[in-house]
């Protein structure tokens, strides 16, 4: 009986306490869901800016080309091509093909299937391959990884266009900066109380020869190409000149500059930079990223950058599961283009830039590659065309097509130039607004005639652009 009274008293006490808490909750004395306070007022309506009106619907800056634009007649284009191919100033080996961009119909040709030296026109293959895989949205990371307690390892991810200091988000070359990376690393290390580190360099992303064996030693020494590396500042240029001498070890030069950037931020770098593999379990304490590959491809085409072409090819190889080497890159680029439907039988690539000796392609193969990029069903490849230099206005065609030249502003082209070799491949917009795709090559130009051969090619393309030569 006594225990029942005890339990009853306990229950009564708990109920009383709970009831008291509910009352306190209602009067907001203790936290809870109940309240006797009046409900809050309704929120005021979202303010509307006085006089705000919807703007007009956006309109395209340029009109779309009409599919009904007249197609030049095959007889007229054929006459122009025949005249070009027979010009003795070009030598005995001339390959030409002009097609309609919309239908793919050949409008004029001369030896279109003869294997010839393409020079830098072959860069369009690497452009198309890179935009396919890894893809135009890809960016390249340069990272700093903490190894143990006191070593920072700089890890290259393929960006040879780093800035020494702060990066410029509006730029392609110099988009990411080692100074920005140093800001991140110094902040993370110094906050831990450590004031000194050692610096390692992991540049193992790429392998094999840094310069293709097919490249003439004098061309490399003159700065036409840099040793390919997984990171570099300003494509390893030692001065601001376009064809400046290049750092012999671009990755190490970049790492040494990174050490200077760290020390400028109060972090002492002990000893010299040494190569070291970044541990897979290491903590990433800083990262900067390049411009997207679409922008890099456009920049490469506009400036005909031999080094960046080779870098892009190695990235294509790695994405395909192959080694990031010259051999792997040639194999991967060739396979990527062939998967898109281009017949590359008989083609040979000694390197990807076209600077080396031994590459061979046909005019038809070059046209077929660019035709992929102008086809609306391949929007991911469009940068391979929009990045081409524009006659008289940009890139390697900027100083050609002067004044009122009929090709100015309507011819695009990837240039190619080697001793006794001149080539060009791109697009032409005719006077009737019909888009054509072309390739012109001459690889046996007489000594001293290379500059003149360019003028002859430009004159041919100007005539093609001015052509209102439709079938009667």
Cross-strand partners of 438: 98, 426
Q: Enter the CATH code of domain 74-135+296-466.
A: 3.40.710.10
For residue range 250-298, list pLDDT tens digits in order.
999 999 999 999 999 999 999 999 999 999 888 999 999 999 999 999 9
Considering the domain delimited by 141-291, tell me its CATH architecture: 3-Layer(bba) Sandwich (3.50)
Quote the tokens at residue 54.
Answer: 């919807």
Q: Which residue has the tokens 């029942």?
A: 4
- Residue from 123, 359, 371, 423 carrying the catalytic annotation: 123
For residue range 452-468, list pLDDT tens digits in order.
999 999 999 999 999 87
* Residue 260 to residue 417: CA distance in whole angstroms: 39
Q: Which residue has the tokens 């010259």?
A: 326
Task: Determine the pLDDT at residue 51.
Answer: 60
Task: For residue 214, give the nearest of 360, 396, 415 by alpha carbon.
Answer: 360
Task: Determine the pLDDT at residue 10.
Answer: 44
Domain with CATH 3.40.710.10 in the chain: 74-135+296-466
Concerning whether 414 is annotated as a catalytic residue, the answer is no
> What are φ and ψ of residue 412, in 5° steps?
-115, 155
Task: Determine the pLDDT at residue 7.
Answer: 39
Spans of the chain below 70 pLDDT: 1-40, 46-55, 58-63, 471-472
Concerning whether 304 is annotated as a catalytic residue, the answer is yes
**What is the H or E stretch that residue 53 is in?**
none
- Residue from 109, 147, 290, 304 carrying the catalytic annotation: 304
Concerning whether 272 is annotated as a catalytic residue, the answer is no
- Residue from 120, 290, 359, 423 carrying the catalytic annotation: 120
On whether the CB atoms of residues 144 and 255 are closer than 8 A, the answer is no
Task: Determine the pLDDT at residue 52.
Answer: 58
Mean pLDDT of the chain: 90
On whether the CB atoms of residues 353 and 123 are closer than 8 A, the answer is yes
Task: For residue 440, give the nearest of 104, 64, 455, 375 by alpha carbon.
Answer: 455
Instruction: Give this prediction's pTM.
Output: 0.86
Domain with CATH 3.50.80.20 in the chain: 141-291
């Amino acid at each position: 009986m006594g225990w029942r009274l005890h339990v009853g008293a306990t229950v009564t006490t708990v109920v009383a306490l709970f009831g008291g808490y509910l009352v306190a909750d209602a009067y907001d004395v203790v936290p809870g869901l109940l309240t006797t306070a009046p409900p809050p007022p309704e929120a005021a309506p979202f303010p509307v800016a006085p006089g705000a009106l919807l703007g007009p619907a956006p309109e395209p800056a340029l009109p779309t080309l009409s599919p009904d634009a007249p197609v030049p007649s095959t007889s007229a284009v054929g006459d122009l091509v025949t005249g070009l191919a027979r010009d003795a100033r070009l030598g005995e080996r001339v390959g030409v093909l002009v097609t309609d961009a919309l239908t793919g119909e050949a409008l004029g040709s001369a030896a279109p299937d003869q294997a010839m030296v393409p020079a830098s026109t072959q860069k369009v293959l690497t452009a198309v391959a890179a935009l396919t895989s890894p893809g135009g949205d890809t960016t390249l990371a340069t990272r700093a990884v903490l190894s143990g307690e006191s070593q920072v390892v700089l890890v290259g991810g393929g960006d040879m266009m780093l800035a020494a200091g702060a990066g410029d988000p509006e730029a392609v070359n110099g988009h990411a900066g080692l100074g920005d990376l140093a800001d991140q690393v110094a902040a993370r290390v110094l906050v831990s109380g450590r004031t000194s580190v050692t610096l390692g360099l992991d540049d193992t992303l790429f392998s094999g020869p840094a310069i293709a064996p097919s490249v003439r030693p004098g061309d490399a020494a003159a700065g036409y190409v840099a040793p390919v590396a997984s990171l570099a500042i300003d494509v390893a240029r030692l001065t601001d000149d376009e064809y400046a001498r290049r750092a012999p070890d671009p990755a190490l030069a970049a790492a040494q500059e990174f050490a200077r950037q760290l020390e400028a931020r109060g972090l002492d770098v002990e000893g010299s930079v040494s190569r070291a593999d970044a541990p897979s379990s290491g903590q990433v304490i800083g990262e900067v990223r390049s411009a997207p590959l679409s922008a890099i491809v456009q920049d490469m085409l506009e400036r005909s950058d031999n080094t960046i072409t080779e870098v892009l090819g190695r990235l294509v190889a790695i994405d395909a599961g192959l080694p990031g080497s010259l051999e792997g890159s040639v194999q991967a680029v060739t396979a990527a283009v062939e998967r898109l439907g281009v017949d590359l039988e008989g083609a040979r690539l000694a390197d990807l830039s076209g600077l080396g000796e031994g590459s061979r392609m046909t005019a038809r193969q070059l046209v077929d590659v660019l035709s992929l990029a102008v086809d609306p069903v391949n929007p991911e490849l469009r940068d391979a065309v929009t990045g081409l230099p524009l006659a008289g206005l940009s890139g390697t065609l900027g100083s050609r097509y002067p004044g009122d030249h009929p090709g100015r502003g309507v011819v695009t082209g990837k240039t190619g130039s080697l001793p006794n070799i001149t080539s060009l491949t791109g697009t032409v917009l005719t006077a009737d607004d019909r888009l054509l795709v072309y390739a012109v090559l001459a690889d046996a130009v007489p000594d001293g005639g290379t500059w003149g051969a360019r003028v002859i090619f430009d004159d041919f393309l100007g005539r093609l652009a001015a052509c209102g030569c439709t079938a009667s």
